[in-house]
Structures are given as C-alpha cells and as structure tokens.
Structure 1
Amino acid sequence: MQQIQINNNKLYLVSKRIIDIIFSLLGIILLFPICIIIAFLIKLEDRKGSVIFKQVRVGENGKTFRIYKFRSMITNAEELKLLLVHQNEASGPVFKMKQDPRVTKFGRLIRKTSLDELPQLINVLKGEMTLVGPRPPLPEEVEKYSSYEMQRLRVTPGLTCYWQVNGRSNISFEQWIEMDLKYINERNLFLDIKLIYKTIFVLFGSRNAY
C-alpha cells in the first residue's frame, strides 16, 4: 500500500486553526440573517420536521461526531434510503441520486447552492471540522474502505477540498479518494486559501451538486 505523506508542520496547523476560528465566527455572524430566512422557508414547506439535520460522520483518525446541515429532505429520509439503494448513481460506498425523491423542493435549491452546508461552520468552530479538508464520510461508508482509502481519515475533515471545485457529484469515488489524498500530501496555507477562493465561485449554482 502506498503510504501518503502528510504536512503536519506545527506552524501550518496552528495557522490553519486560527483561520478556521476567525472565518467560521465571521461566517456565523454575517450569514445569520440568511440562516434565519432558510430556517423559515424549511418550516414553511414542512412544519413537522426539524430545521437542522444532524448526522453521525467519521472524522480524524476514525473519531465520530455529529455534523450539522439545514434539512433538505423529508423527515423519514434515512428510512427510505434502504428502498432506494438499488438506484444509487455513485460508485464505491457512496449513495447519490440526481433525482432523489427524498429531497424537498426548497431542499433542491439549498443543495444546489450548498446553503444547506452553512451550519457546518459550527462544526468548524468546535474543531470537529476545518474549512479545507476531505469531506467527512458516513460510518457505513468507512466500513467498506480499503486500507489505502482509510488514509483520507488521517486529517481533520473539511467543508471543501479538491472534490468540490473539480466536478463534485460527477466525480467517481476512486477519483474522489485520489483528490483527497493529493490534498493531504500537498496541503499548505496557500493551497487552503486557493481552494476556499475557488469554492466560493464553484459551489453557488453548481450544476454538479445534488
């Protein structure tokens, strides 16, 4: 198995954490009005369901945590997933459908613009996630990982990475893994800032998000 080298320079890690705290705090404060509007519209479409969706994900070194997202699916989406597994359009252990019937009308909009991910700024502030890093997978996905693929769990998961700016849902699982390991090997402050900049322009209205 090819062992991926990781940039664990202390100065880089400290600087990365400082940037995470500053940007996540600013984001939470500045985007709060937008979050209130999103919460209102979610409730307007489905009053029974909660505004925030919490889900267990796998973080650095296999440690689990609860990720926060604006709910974009119907309330019993997790149960219905079992009935849709045979319609999976993604490769590897990941489940994705372009026309997932569990997604609400407003949910499609916030997923298309990635506004459903805004609550993860709280995960970043708490240190469970970082602004730039491999996306945190589901436990059932990790169970199917090879030892090579497990290497993507050696760093703190993030909001964005190469995958988000290079095709997103149209990228195969194998390509996704290679992109994550490429980031882990190359990561530095300049690269992080570059990916954040690219993400702002790619995610909002991306045709490859679903």
Structure 2
Amino acid sequence: MTRRIGAGSLVIATHNAGKLKEIGALLEPHGVSCIGAGSLGLPEPAETGQTFVENALLKARAAAEASGIVALADDSGLAVAALGGRPGVYTADWAERQWFEGEPGRDWYMAMGKVEGLLAAEGPDVSRAAAFHCVLALAWPDGEQAVYEGSVAGTLAWPPRGECGFGYDPVFVPEGRDRTFAELDPAEKHRISHRADAFAKLVAEQFGAG
C-alpha cells in the first residue's frame, strides 16, 4: 500500500498560477489545501531530467525538502507525432523568449507558432496528431515518493482558438471534441485532460477505499 497524504496542506511545486489553480480545484474535494511554491518563496529547481517522470520527481523532492511539507509536482508537455515527440520535456522552453525576441519571459503564442511552423515545413499532408502527457509526483520530506502518469490524445488546430486554459491549450483539440482545450469550459477540461487522467490515478490510490 502506497503511503497516503491525507487531508491537510500540500505544497504544489509550481510558480504557474494557472497550473496551481487547476491542481487546487482537483484536490479541494478531498480536503487538501494547496500552497504554491511561489508563495513560500521556494526557488524553481533546474529541470535537468530527460523525461517527464525525472523532472516531476526533481521538483517534488526539492519542494518537500525545502518546505518540510509533502509536495506535489507536475511535469507535463505536448508531444507532436510528426515532430518525433517534440517539444516533449521542452514544452515550456519553447515559449521562453531569446535575447532577440523581446523581454525575458514566456510567450505561448510564439511557442504555438514554432510548432505550427515546423509542421508546415513538413508539407500539407503532415499528421497533426498530438498528445498531452502529465506526470504527477508526490514527495515526502523523508524521501518517500509516488508517481502517477496520464495522457490525452488529440490533434493540433491553427490558428489558436479560445480564451480559457494556458500554454498550448488554444491549439489542442482533444479526441472526440471539435473545440480546443481553451474553448472548453474549465470543468469540462478538468474531466478529460491529461492532468485529470493522472489525478484520477492519484485520487484512487491516495483517497480511495482501503
């Protein structure tokens, strides 16, 4: 039996307000109060892992050790079939502005444009299949850890559509839908997203009967 976190406070190892809000909404029904790493002044560790699992564990362990509280980290990204799985673990990096692209920070429209530009270079018949992947890692201050993985398949649209969500949501149309993640009501997205898939596994093990 995997160790359980139970109700109480949980550090969410992210400085992304959108991600913190989404994770908080998923955990609130289980009596968990989420605290963002940013509000605790915790630094963001360098994501040096080669996989989503490695990066999620790296962030969770760093937050748990620094705060002394159980921590949850999410590492997620977009994998585009025609691009060999890119951007993958570099999903957020593709949004980082270079010195010649303006003020430092992330520009998600630019990131979506990079993906579209690479697809366009492959020709009009290129596959637009893609998937979002999510890994959730729990880490306790004493070193114990647990990992949960989820995914959602879909296709890429262009131009971007919708005002909700964040990241690449405006160009991702989940399988079985005709609207992008950014066009869906947040509650509907929560039910079908890669993060929801991973959370369903976490909830079943952490808060299920037994």
Name the TM-score, length of structure 2 as normaliser.
0.29
Which of structures 1 and 2 has the larger relative contact order (alpha carbons within 8 angstroms, sep 6+)? 1
Normalized against structure 1, the TM-score is what?
0.29
Higher helix content, 1 or 2: 1
